[in-house]
Amino acid sequence: MSAAAETPAAGADAPAKPEPAHGWRLFTIWLVLALAADLLIWFFLYPHLPPGRMSTSAKHQQFDIAVLMISAAPVIIAVWLYFGYAIVVWRARPGDDTDGPPIHGHTGVQATWIIGTSAIVLWLFVFGTVELIGPAGAGAGEGPSPIWKLAGTQTANWAPGGNDMLQVQVIGQQWTWSYRYPQFGGMESTQLFLPVDTPVTFHVTSLDVIHSFWAYQLGVKADANPAVDNVAYTTAKQMGSFVVRCNELCGIWHGAMFNYGQVVSQSAFAAWARGVQAQEQANGVLATLPPFSLTYDPTVIPQLGKALTNIVQVTGAPGYYYGPANPVQP
Ligand SMILES: [Cu+2]
């Protein structure tokens, strides 16, 4: 930037000033801004990021978003800083019609660029892989035979207090969800109750078109395809309610295909599940349901004519859901 010195007129007025160390200046300003932005993100934004911390998968997703923001902020700050610095410091002064000095290459800048971008890409690759394997698929649908498993004991009957894995089959149909608990005699309910601190395996499937099971606060999302067993894992860490939505446009009442699930204590869950099981045993519904199956025939159920509800009031759906007319509350 010694253009002024090369012009005879300007050179006559004042001696050429030495160029300031632009690189170090930029680096110092960038370091301060990037550090400030990353600290703000970590301490103020991170705790409020979706989807919250209700389950292991939700926690991991929140952490992932925070780490990606922390990785991205220094990059965008570098771009904006260079942009602003160039406009302020390197703009042409009034009356200056000279060209800048020709540039033929700069090993330092080129090496920094290649090393910097390679490091960023490799970091994202390693971080993403670790965060996918660590929480056993991060709450997403892993297909019928996942390559990882959550730690937990496989049992035929679920009991509180141990580390039993809870199996829940999630069945989508136009336009409602039902949930089957194979470890409780295969009882089914339109209410999704889960015990806290329990590894859960969801088996997501559909009776008709493609739906998508999205338990927002649990950080679980898995496609529901007919005749496909799509497995997703999570462990709820906090009690409370969460939203279940269909996340795949599945027909005219897709928007109404949601309800609320509950994470309750292990003993409350066991009491609720046994209660529903007993009720369905008594009214004969349970006997018609196989213990565990990937395929369902919803038309069989209404023929029983017992304790079944035709959902017309909300969805207008011609279908039926399984489960008791008066669900047992925990
Ligand atoms: Cu749907």
Q: Residue 206 Cα, ligand 1 centroid: separation in angstroms?
A: 9
d(CA 146, CA 271): 31
Confidence at residue 19, expressed as pLDDT on a 0 to 100 scale: 81
Which of these ranges, 32-46, 122-136, 313-327, has the smallest mean pLDDT?
313-327
Q: How remote is the CA of residue 258 from the centroid of ligand 1, in Å? A: 9
Name the band, by pLDDT with cuts 50, 70 and 90, for residue 15. low
Distance 56 CA to ligand 1 centre (A): 25
**Ligand 1 centroid – CA 254 distance (Å):** 5
pLDDT beyond 60 at 5: no
pLDDT category at 228 given cuts 50, 70, 90 is confident
CA 178–ligand 1 middle distance (angstroms): 12
How does residue 2 score in pLDDT terms, banded at 50, 70 and 90?
very low
CA of 299 to the centre of ligand 1 (A): 19
Mean pLDDT of 131-140: 85
Higher pLDDT, 159 or 10: 159
Distance 308 CA to ligand 1 centre (A): 21
Q: Output the CA 174–ligand 1 centroid distance in Å.
A: 6
Which burial class, exposed, middle or buried, applies to 100 when counting CB atoms under 10 A from its CB (0-12, 13-18, 19+)?
Answer: exposed
- Characterise 136 by phi-psi region: left (phi > 0), alpha (psi -120 to 50), beta (else): left
Ligand 1: centre distance to CA 207 (Å): 10
Name the pTM for this structure. Answer: 0.77
Q: Which two tokens stand for residue 174?
A: 């136009």
User: pLDDT averaged over the chain?
Assistant: 82
- For residue 259, the surrounding DSSP H or E stretch is strand 258-264
Mean pLDDT of 137-145: 86
- C-alpha 212 to ligand 1 mean position (Å): 6
